[in-house]
Amino acid sequence: MSEAKLKVILIKHTPNPEEIVAMAAKLCYSPSDIEALKEKIEAKDQKAFVEKLVKMGHMSPIEHSSFTFAIEGISRACSHQLVRHRLASYSQQSQRYVSEETGFDYVIPPIIKEDKELKRYFEGFMSEAQKTYNHIVKKLNEKGVKGESANQDARFVLPNAAETKIIVTMNARELLHFFRMRCCNRAQWEIRRMAEEMLKLVKKTSPVIFEKAGPGCLYAPCPEGEYTCGKIAEVRKKYGIK
């Protein structure tokens, strides 16, 4: 058992994502055949055109670019929030097929980690959960219940803090929405930290599409209304916006 560390990897994405977006958009209005249109798109920098699409709010062509992330070191509490974004595909490590007998890793909230007494209490609880899990598996094995059949019942004692691994695929339009929601200061700290890492990665591959990506207050009033964090100036400074 040990504290889990966040790791986010962009493992695959649509090749030349901004060219695909431009081609999808221009096809709607072009009399050219596919091959001729493809040649025109590839021969010209599409930065200005894609910027115009985003500015106009013509977002459906942006759905043709997709991005796949491998994520580890997040808690089950975080993954439960993540999968609420339904326009995405998920493959998550199973607590039924993967035994935790050798020890599950876990995520410690920063505010607990900073307090020595709370951290010790928290880690003690994790240790007790592990002992209980192993005891249940052992007793079930003695009854002839083994493998996934034992795991699926023993996992009921595992905490929300237990680390999980997940592969996530989203199209660019859904990612823009995801960043708007989850990079916000009002989002829970763990999913916000994960979203910020995802944003850094996609900006490297698709700087035009994600140029203005981030929380909803970057270029407009805070969408949280009376629930605003009240830190718009700080948030904009963080994202390099004056």
Instruction: Give residue for tokens 């009399």.
Output: 31
Q: How far is it, in rounded angstroms, from Cα 150 to Cα 147?
A: 6
Closest CA to 145 of 104, 96, 217, 181: 96
Q: How far is it, in rounded angstroms, from Cα 200 to Cα 134?
A: 39
Catalytic residue among 182, 186, 192, 236: 182
Q: What are phi and psi of 5, to 5 degrees?
A: -115, 130
Closest CA to 166 of 1, 11, 61: 11
The 10 Å Cβ neighbour count of residue 199 is 20
Q: How far is it, in rounded angstroms, from Cα 17 to Cα 211?
A: 14
Closest CA to 210 of 9, 7, 41, 54: 54
**Residue 160 · residue 77 · CB < 8 Å:** yes
76 is catalytic: no
Q: How far is it, in rounded angstroms, from Cα 106 to Cα 125?
A: 11
Helix, strand, coil: what percent of the chain each, to 5?
50, 15, 35
Instruction: List active site positions.
Output: 182
